Structure 1
Amino acid sequence: MLPSTALPPSPPAPEEGAWADRAGLLEERARAMGALARWYLAPHRALLLWLATMVFALGWVLAVSGFQFLVTGQLVEHLLGVMFLGLALGATIPSSLGVAAGIRRDVSVGGRLRDWARLAHDPRTLPLWRVPGSALLWLLPSVLLSSLGLALGASTVFSELSPESFGTLLGISVVFAAAGGLGLAKAIAYYRLVSRELTPGPGPEGR
Structure 2
Amino acid sequence: MPRTPLPPPPPPEHLWSWPDHESLLAERARAMGELQRRGLSFARLALLWSYGLIATLGWILVSLGLGAFEARNADYVTGVVELVLGLFFLMPAVIGVGFDLARDRTVRGRLDAWAALRPDPGNDHRLRAGGRSAGWLGLSVALCLIGLVLAFTGVGQPGSGGIGETAYLIGTGVIALVIGGLGVLRVRGHQRWAGNVLSPVSLREGGGAHR
Tell me which interval the TM-score lies in, with the shorter structure as reference length.
0.7 to 0.9
Q: CA deviation at 1:131?
A: 4.3
CA 1:2–1:86: 2 relative to 1, 3 Å: closer
Aligned equivalent of 2:68? 69
Secondary structure of 1:104's counterpart equals helix
Q: Could you report, residue by residue, the CA deviation over 1:32-67 in whole angstroms, capped at 9, with x for unpaired residues? A: 101111111232221121122022122112202202
Matched ranges for 1:25-64 at <5 A: 25-64=24-63
CA drift at 1:128: 5.7
**1:155 deviation in Å?**
5.3
Q: Is the 8 A contact 2:116 2:208 kept in 1?
A: no
Q: CA, structure 1 residues 38+198, in 2 after alignment: closer, same or farther (shift >3 Å)?
A: same
Aligned twin of 1:205: 207
Which residue identity lines up with residue 168 of structure 1 in the other structure? Y
Name the structure 2 match of 1:173. 173
Q: Pick one of 84, 87, 109 that aligns with 2:85.
A: 87
1:117/1:193 contact within 8 Å kept: no
- Contact persistence 2:153–2:169 (CA under 8 A): no
Q: Distance in 2 between matches of 1:21 and 1:54?
A: 49
8 A contact 2:117–2:208 mirrored in 1: no
Change (3 A) 1:118 1:151: farther
1:187 alignment counterpart: 187
Q: CA deviation at 1:68?
A: 2.8
SS at match of 2:10: coil
Aligned sequence identity (%):
33
Question: Which residue of structure 1 lines up, in the alignment, with residue 116 of structure 2?
Answer: 118
Counterpart residue number, 2:105: 107
Q: Residue 119 of structure 1: SS of its match in structure 2?
A: coil
The residue type paired with residue 207 of structure 2 is E
Structure 1 stretches of 4+ with a deviation exceeding 4 A read 127-133, 154-157
| Preserved contact between residue 58 and residue 85 of structure 2 (Cα < 8 Å) | yes
**3-state SS, counterpart of residue 88 of structure 2:** helix
The separation in 2 between residues aligned to 1:42 and 1:206, in whole angstroms, is 28
Cα drift, residue 99 of structure 1: 2.0
1:161 paired residue among 133, 158, 161 = 158
- Segments of 5+ residues of structure 2 without an aligned counterpart are none
Q: Output aligned runs, 1:122-133, within 5 Å.
A: 122-126=120-124, 129=127, 131-133=129-131
CA deviation after TM superposition for structure 1 residue 182, in Å: 1.4
Conserved in 2, the CA contact under 8 Å of 1:8 and 1:36? Answer: yes
CA distance in structure 2 between the partners assigned to 1:195 and 1:2 by the alignment: 34
Aligned letter for 2:81? M
In the alignment, the residues of structure 2 paired with residue 139 and residue 119 of structure 1 have an alpha-carbon distance, to the nearest angstrom, of: 30
The alignment of Structure 1 onto Structure 2 pairs a total of residues equal to 203
CA positional deviation for 1:172: 1.9
Q: CA deviation at 1:70?
A: 2.9
Deviations 1:70-127 (A, max 9, x none): 354636x223213322331332122222222222222212221122223343221136
Cα separation, 1, equivalents of 2:168 and 2:126? 46
Across the aligned residues of Structure 1 and Structure 2, the Cα RMSD in angstroms comes to: 3.0
Match of 1:139 among 114, 137, 140: 137
Q: What are structure 1's unaligned runs of at least 5 residues? A: none
| Aligned partner letter, 2:52 | T
* TM-score where L is the length of structure 1: 0.79
Change (3 A) 1:134 1:92: same
